[in-house]
Chain A
Amino acid sequence: MSELTGDAALPRINGELVFNEPWEGRAFGLAAALTESGVSNWADFRDRLNEVTASRDEHGGETGYYERWFQALERLALENGLVTSAELDARTEALASDQHDDH
């Protein structure tokens, strides 16, 4: 990931990747797995990430690094036709209500 620089660079502390929450690691792994297997293109992902980072700069705001990473990933997945918005919204809602029902 040497091509990710500046605000788009992966957060590290003395070389080690930093994930504040487990989902951040999953988002990272998901993007890496898709690009590694060739389902998606790494350069496309990097471009989306740079776009999301740049638009955050324009509009101000404090989105975290992996929030932006995930936005870029979602954009790419939709563009590549891997999932549809409707599917993603539906699944997200289903998982959210699973949480409430679980006891």
Chain B
Amino acid sequence: MSGDHDRDHHAEPESPAALRTRALESLLVEKGLVTTDAIDEIVRMYEQDIGPLNGAKVVARAWVDPDYKRRLLANGTEAIAELGFGGAEGAEIVVVESTPAVHNVVVCTLCSCYPWPVLGLPPSWYKDAAYRSRVVREPRAVLREFGLTVDESKEIRVWDSTASLRYMVLPERPHGTADLPEEELVELVTRDSMIGVGLARSRSEIAWMPGARKHE
């Protein structure tokens, strides 16, 4: 599968930039410097890759700014709106903080309520009946299936979102990140860490882009 279908559509003339890009690609492919497949794969990967979500920016801000964090935990909707995010009419967003003693995870047992202004669209597994019923009954086991082992000494709290009240997790800040600027901290915050089925990335997991970004 490739993007060639787009090229067959000649109803409108291509822009100069489009033509020149095609020209460069075709030359580089002919010279064996790159393959069409490699390009297709990268485009596909990045289109599916969830980049720094709005929520990641909220988390990074809370990590660097204790006053912001206080406001965020006191009134999630308002604090999130400070950064320009919002729009779920009538739905409050409550942010729950994970700590060394408590790990939080979010679900919507009845349907698939999700704090979309900060996390975008929910992943399909979140909407799945299996996740929705099991995570409240056996959270530790479910998290293990996500690759996350929560120490027995830690309490797990499961938060059930509703149409009017949606939860988002403020994950723990990874160790060894005290020197990172806010915009780099954003890169550590994954969607899964804000749902609570994963942790924020450690800095060693982030290799510089795009060369070393691996499939997860």
Contacts and interface: CB of A to CB of B under 8 A. Distances in A.
B83 interface: no
B147 interface: no
Interface size class of A (residues with CB under 8 A): 35 or more
Q: Is the interface of B mostly helix, strand, loop or mixed?
A: helix
Contacts, number: 140
A2 B206 contact: yes
Interface residues of B, number: 47
Given A1-B210, A15-B53, A37 B38 contact: yes
Interface stretch (B16-24, B97-105, B125-133, B154-162): B16-24
A26 interface: yes
A95 B210 contact: no
A92 B187 contact: no
B53 A83 contact: no
B183 A1 contact: no
B10 interface: yes
Contact of A21 (B15, B23, B50, B209): B15
Given A2-B183, A15-B51, A23-B15, A99 B210 contact: no
Contacts of B15: 21, 23
4 nearest CB pairs, A to B: A23-B18, A29-B39, A91-B23, A1-B209
28 contacts: A12-B51, A15-B120, A17-B47, A22-B3, A23-B17, A25-B43, A26-B3, A27-B21, A28-B46, A29-B46, A30-B21, A33-B34, A33-B35, A33-B42, A36-B42, A39-B34, A73-B24, A82-B33, A83-B24, A83-B28, A83-B31, A88-B20, A88-B23, A91-B24, A91-B26, A91-B27, A95-B19, A99-B13
